[in-house]
């Protein structure tokens, strides 16, 4: 029976590329309406996990569901229920802000007044008012990410999956972007976001630390600070990595 309170779940999710294990036996559960932060350095397995959950990559082992849909059997259905934003700007640089939004609305079959209203709503949400006719290629990194987010939201997805959405973006633009994320969460959208910025992770409802494909520990930021008796997430992550690298040592022994 489908659990209506769970947005995303996976059990023993594993992905191997030859002898390389990019994702190693990860199990997580993300409640609906939650902002879940995947925290870890580049190359830790965050993007690979996200691609499996989006139905873009088949797991080597394990299983997962998104809104109750199986990530292997129902991959195409999942793609229509989520908004996905990849690390790199993947929109059409020779189109304007408006034209990019029109294009993505068309992909999802949104036309006429509904498309017009949705476009206006997203332009306002992302603070893109006044830039409607600006070519995407002329936007700065922060503005491009706001446009990419708007296109990911055009079909009103129940879940938003963001893969390092603010990498390489200036601090002010990152703050504005996260203000938008929190406003979406308040509207009931479930959000899975990967990042290596500790200040961003502090604002998540729940976080999971991932390192070399392994989920080291998860919990709310406050729970983890109390558990490890450390003042911030950066020190917790350093602590976890140092212990993980000790021969024969496991996180659950810390």
**Residue 85: pLDDT over 60:** yes
Position 141 confidence tier, pLDDT thresholds 50, 70, 90: confident
31-77, pLDDT tens digit by residue? 999 999 999 888 889 999 999 999 999 999 999 999 999 999 999 99
What pLDDT, on the 0 to 100 scale, is given for residue 176? 87
Position 192 confidence tier, pLDDT thresholds 50, 70, 90: very high
Question: What mean pLDDT, rounded, does the chain reach?
Answer: 90
The DSSP code sequence of 59-102 is -SEEEEEETTEETTTTHHHHHHHEEEE-SS--S-TTSBHHHHHH
Q: What's the burial of 219, exposed, middle or buried (CB within 10 Å: 0-12/13-18/19+)?
A: middle
State how far the alpha carbon of 146 is from the alpha carbons of 65, 143, 175, in Å: 28, 5, 12
Q: How far apart are CA 11 and CA 128, in angstroms?
A: 39
**Residue 251: pLDDT over 70:** no
**Residue 88: pLDDT over 90:** no
Position 87 confidence tier, pLDDT thresholds 50, 70, 90: confident
What pLDDT, on the 0 to 100 scale, is given for residue 170? 85
Q: Which H helix or E strand runs over 225? A: helix 221-228
97-139, pLDDT tens digit by residue? 999 999 999 999 999 999 999 999 999 988 999 999 999 999 9
Residue that has been written with the tokens 């602590």 in this structure: 239
Give bridge partners of residue 245 from the DSSP assignment. Answer: none
**Residue 23: pLDDT over 50:** yes
**Residue 247: pLDDT over 60:** no
Q: 6-87+156-247 belongs to which CATH class?
A: alpha beta
As a whole number, mean pLDDT of residues 202-227 equals 94
Position 89 confidence tier, pLDDT thresholds 50, 70, 90: low
What pLDDT, on the 0 to 100 scale, is given for residue 4? 61
What pLDDT, on the 0 to 100 scale, is given for residue 254? 42
Position 140 confidence tier, pLDDT thresholds 50, 70, 90: confident
% pLDDT > 70, the chain:
94
What pLDDT, on the 0 to 100 scale, is given for residue 1? 42
What pLDDT, on the 0 to 100 scale, is given for residue 166? 87
Position 168 confidence tier, pLDDT thresholds 50, 70, 90: confident
State how far the alpha carbon of 21 is from the alpha carbons of 13, 212, 248, in Å: 11, 8, 19
Position 173 confidence tier, pLDDT thresholds 50, 70, 90: confident
């Amino acid at each position: 029976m489908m659990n209506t309170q769970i947005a995303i779940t996976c059990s023993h999710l594993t992905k191997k590329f030859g002898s390389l294990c990019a994702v190693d036996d990860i199990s997580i559960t993300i409640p609906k309406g939650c902002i879940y932060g995947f925290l870890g350095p580049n190359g830790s397995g965050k993007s690979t996990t996200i691609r499996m959950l989006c139905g873009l990559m088949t797991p080597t082992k394990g299983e997962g569901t998104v809104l109750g849909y199986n990530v292997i059997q129902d991959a195409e259905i999942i793609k229509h229920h989520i908004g996905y934003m990849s690390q790199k700007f993947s929109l059409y640089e020779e189109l304007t802000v408006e034209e990019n939004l029109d294009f993505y609305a068309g992909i999802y079959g949104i036309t006429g007044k509904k498309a017009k209203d949705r476009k206006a709503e997203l332009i306002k949400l992302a603070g893109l008012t006044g830039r409607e006719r600006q070519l995407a290629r002329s936007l700065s990194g922060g503005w491009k990410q706001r446009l990419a987010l708007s296109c990911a939201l055009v079909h009103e997805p129940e879940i938003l999956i963001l893969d390092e959405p603010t990498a390489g973006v200036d601090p002010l633009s990152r703050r504005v972007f996260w203000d938008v994320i929190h406003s979406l969460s308040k509207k009931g959208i479930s959000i899975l976001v990967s990042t290596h910025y500790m200040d961003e992770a502090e604002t998540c409802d729940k976080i999971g630390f991932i390192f070399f494909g392994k989920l080291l520990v998860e919990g709310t930021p406050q729970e983890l600070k109390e558990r490890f008796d450390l003042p911030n997430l950066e020190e917790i992550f350093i602590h976890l990595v140092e212990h993980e690298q000790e021969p024969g040592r496991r996180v659950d022994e810390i």
